Each structure stands twice: as structure tokens, then as C-alpha cells.
């Protein structure tokens, strides 16, 4: 099983594979997951009342356990770090795109992305992480 050191980097990879271009992964739904567990309330209220600025546990579990085969990871050529990415709202429906809960802290997992060429939203990464990407020849686009 492919393990990511940085959960937030994994989320960016999942965004690329689940929502960008020709999706390679089936989109996941918090509402469908909760319904399958017997929840029949209002998702918006559930999220607001319990996980206003946190990743909903069901989303965290799903995305942590989601297996990303090497052949899929090899298809990732671009990552986007933007507060408007769908994956963040799957994890935290009330997130306003401004907090730091989805900031990437390290890039130890770059070896899993052998064909990564570009990072959009690079301005959201700290300068040390930007330097790591540049050193690997990855184009940074603000």
C-alpha cells in the first residue's frame, strides 16, 4: 500500500486524479457515505455543528485509506494548491479556503510522483518547499 507522509499532499494528488481533466478515480461523497451509515439529517448542519473547521472523520478515514496505485501516481503531471479545490470541501464542507488546515508541510512523498511537471498555486507553499520543487525541475506557477 502506498503511504503518504503528508496527508495534505495526498489530498492534492487525489484532487488531480478525482476531479481534474479526465478523472481516474470515482468521486467520493460525504453525503453518500453518511447515508450508508444511517445518517438522514442535514449534511450542512452536521458539518457545521461538529466539524466547522476540521476534516470530517469519515472523509479523513476514506482518503487516508484510499489506495493510489503507482501507475495512477505516474499519471499525475500537475498539482493545484488552491482553496477552491473540490477535495477540500469533501473533507471540510464549511471550509472558507482561508485556513491552514490543508497546507502541505513537507514534500517527502515527491518520489511517488515521477512525472510531476507543474505546481499551480505554488505561492501557498513556503519558500523551502518551493526550493525543493525547483531543485527537481518542477515548474512553479503562482
Tally of domains within the chain: 1
Q: Is the pTM of this model over 0.85?
A: yes
Is the pLDDT at 53 greater than 80? The verdict is no
pLDDT tier for residue 1 given thresholds of 50, 70 and 90 = low
Instruction: Look at residue 12 and tell me if it is in a domain.
Output: yes
Instruction: Look at residue 1 and tell me if it is in a domain.
Output: no
Instruction: Report how far apart, in Å, the C-alpha atoms of 111 and of each of 64, 73, 114, 115, 116 are.
Output: 18, 10, 6, 9, 10
Is the pLDDT at 52 greater than 80? The verdict is no
* pLDDT score recorded for residue 49: 73
Is the pLDDT at 30 greater than 80? The verdict is yes
Instruction: Look at residue 96 and tell me if it is in a domain.
Output: yes
Is the pLDDT at 38 greater than 90? The verdict is no
Is the pLDDT at 104 greater than 70? The verdict is yes
Give me the mean pLDDT over the 53-62 stretch: 90
What span, in angstroms and rounded, lies between the C-alpha atoms of 27 and 37?
18
* pLDDT score recorded for residue 113: 97
Percent of the chain's residues with pLDDT above 70: 99
Domain that holds residue 19: 7-141
Give me the mean pLDDT over the 11-19 stretch: 97
For residue range 105-133, what is the model confidence (pLDDT) as tens digits? 999 999 999 999 999 999 999 999 999 99
Q: Would you call 103 helix, strand, or coil by DSSP?
A: coil
Instruction: Look at residue 121 and tell me if it is in a domain.
Output: yes
Helix (H) or strand (E) holding 10, with range, is helix 7-18
Give me the mean pLDDT over the 21-32 stretch: 91
Instruction: Look at residue 35 and tell me if it is in a domain.
Output: yes
Contacts by 68-73, CB closer than 8 A, 24 or more apart: 68/2, 68/10, 68/13, 68/14, 68/17, 68/112, 69/2, 70/2, 70/112, 72/17, 72/24, 72/25, 73/2, 73/13, 73/112, 73/113, 73/114
> Residue 15 CB: number of other CB atoms within 10 A?
21
- Look up cell 450508508; give the residue: 36
Amino acid at each position: 500500500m502506498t503511504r503518504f507522509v503528508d496527508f495534505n499532499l495526498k489530498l492534492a494528488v487525489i484532487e488531480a486524479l478525482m476531479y481534474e481533466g479526465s478523472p481516474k478515480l470515482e468521486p467520493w461523497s460525504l453525503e453518500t457515505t453518511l447515508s450508508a451509515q444511517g445518517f438522514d439529517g442535514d449534511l450542512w448542519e452536521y458539518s457545521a455543528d461538529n466539524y466547522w473547521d476540521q476534516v470530517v472523520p469519515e472523509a479523513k478515514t476514506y482518503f487516508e485509506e484510499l489506495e493510489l496505485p503507482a501507475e495512477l501516481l505516474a499519471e499525475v503531471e500537475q498539482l493545484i494548491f488552491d482553496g477552491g479545490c473540490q477535495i477540500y470541501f469533501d473533507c471540510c464542507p464549511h471550509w472558507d479556503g482561508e485556513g491552514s488546515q490543508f497546507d502541505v508541510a513537507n514534500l517527502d512523498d515527491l518520489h511517488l510522483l515521477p512525472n510531476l511537471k507543474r505546481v499551480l498555486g505554488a505561492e501557498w507553499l513556503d519558500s523551502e518547499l518551493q526550493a525543493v520543487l525547483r531543485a527537481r525541475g518542477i515548474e512553479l506557477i503562482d
